[in-house]
Amino acid sequence: MWVRKRVDIGWSDLTAALAHCALPGSRATRAAELERLWSHAGDAIACLSVRSGFDLWLSAINLPAGSEVLVSAITIPDMLRIIQDHGLVAVPVDIDPDHLAVDPASLEQGLSPRTRAILVAHLFGTRQPLETIAQFARRHDLLLIEDCAQAFVGTSFTGDSEADVSMFSFGPIKTATALGGALLRVDDKQVRDAMRQVLASQPLHSSWTYARRVLKYTGIKFLTGRLSYAAVFHTWQALGRDPDQLVNGAVRGFAGPGFFQRIRRQPAASLLAVMRRRITRFSRERIARRGENGQFLLDQLRGALVSPGWASAEHTYWVFPVLVDESSRLIAALRQAGFDGSSAHSMCVVPPPADRPEQRAVMAENILPRIVYLPYCSALPRYEMERMAAVVRAVAESSENQSRSPVIAAAPQLSSSGQAR
Ligand SMILES: *Cc1c(COP(=O)(O)O)cnc(C)c1O
């Protein structure tokens, strides 16, 4: 069975991670090495996670309570929780389904006298150009933060020069994961110094805690091998359980109580060493192949279903989403054919503040609940992609009410009424 999402780490990395846990070395040295690797400009900061880094940055800039942050409409709920915890208000900015880029009209409309910053997430492996948003930010004196958690491509892109902050994640479901960790580039030296000061006061995430995490994911990697996953999946289903809970529940970071206490930690030396290893050994060919394969799969779908982000000029297909009205039918057909498609995910649409209902992100609300993720990785051979695409096309063709072509499908329909047909 083709697994929905692999933990992108090798056995040798896991072994090396355990070795680093046993002999972690100096935290300060590890951090300096890693930060220099990420950026020669001295503007990088290594953190325990993107959430930790974002929280740290908000602590350092200390915006007045009640300030508003314009947030591109699809993100993970924790980002909103962090914004709220700093006394700030998240205001959604809608995104266009074809490019997954911020909608300029919604950006204009979201602006208020209290707006101080814009947080833009690049989704699913796409990367949206920031020029227009940056111009808008300059015009209105706003800070611009880009969330590149899903857009890692190695050291060839470590953040847009237009952004004040660029954040990359090495969390468990991300490309080239270190099973945790994040790298931020922060433009303003004063802010950076303030962040370092706060970070130094935080308790340490120990190598022991990290070692436990490495062991947990060693188990998960074993169970999500192609053959073992089929066995586990079918057993779990036979027990009447939902496979989504099995996989997605297991890989959520910082779940449970004490969220802020757990993200506000300095990364362990061992974790920093593993991040460095993942970056230095990262294969550009592999990510290029992932992008080409994504394009191949898109072509094979022949417009039967829309893949949000399909029109983005930069797309490495971290995941492969398609839009479908009856997701359960598609998922059942895929699973029958040995493809573990899933609609489970950990993202949300940013809700508008109570007094700004007009800022509802209608397009985002329309696409997110209709997404099915096709199982997808750079190891998927072309003949299997052809077979999977045939399953998808058959389901789409047998159902009357699906959007046909990417060109005529998503954009006009969605933006005019905001409703699925
Ligand atoms: C994964 C993810 C994050 C969080 O990254 P962590 O390093 O796990 O905190 C934030 N934003 C987006 C869009 C993500 O996909």
Is 49 a pocket residue for ligand 1 (Cβ < 6 Å)? yes
Is 171 a pocket residue for ligand 1 (Cβ < 6 Å)? yes
Spell out the residues 6+ positions from residue 333 whose beta carbon is closer than 8 angstroms to its own: 391, 394, 395
Residues 222-271 have pLDDT tens digits of 887 766 777 777 777 777 777 676 666 666 667 778 999 999 999 999 99
Residues 352-394 have pLDDT tens digits of 999 999 999 999 999 999 999 999 887 889 999 999 999 999 9
Q: Work out the angle at residue 403's Cα, subtended by the Cα atoms of residues 398 and 405, and round it to the nearest 5 degrees.
A: 105
- Atom nearest to 122 CA in ligand 1: 13
- Atom nearest to 48 CA in ligand 1: 7
Q: DSSP letter at 204?
A: B
Is 147 a pocket residue for ligand 1 (Cβ < 6 Å)? yes
Task: Tell me the two tokens of residue 140.
Answer: 């209105």
CA of 74 relative to ligand 1 center, distance in Å: 12
Is 177 a pocket residue for ligand 1 (Cβ < 6 Å)? no
Is 321 a pocket residue for ligand 1 (Cβ < 6 Å)? no
Global pTM reads 0.91
- Atom nearest to 54 CA in ligand 1: 9
Residues 23-64 have pLDDT tens digits of 999 999 999 999 999 999 999 999 999 999 999 999 999 999
Residues 328-351 have pLDDT tens digits of 999 999 999 999 898 888 899 999
Is 50 a pocket residue for ligand 1 (Cβ < 6 Å)? yes
Q: In what order do the strands lie in the sheet with 89-93?
A: 44-47, 182-186, 165-169, 143-147, 115-121, 68-72, 89-93
- Domains within the chain, CATH numbers bracketed: 284-410 (3.90.1150.10)
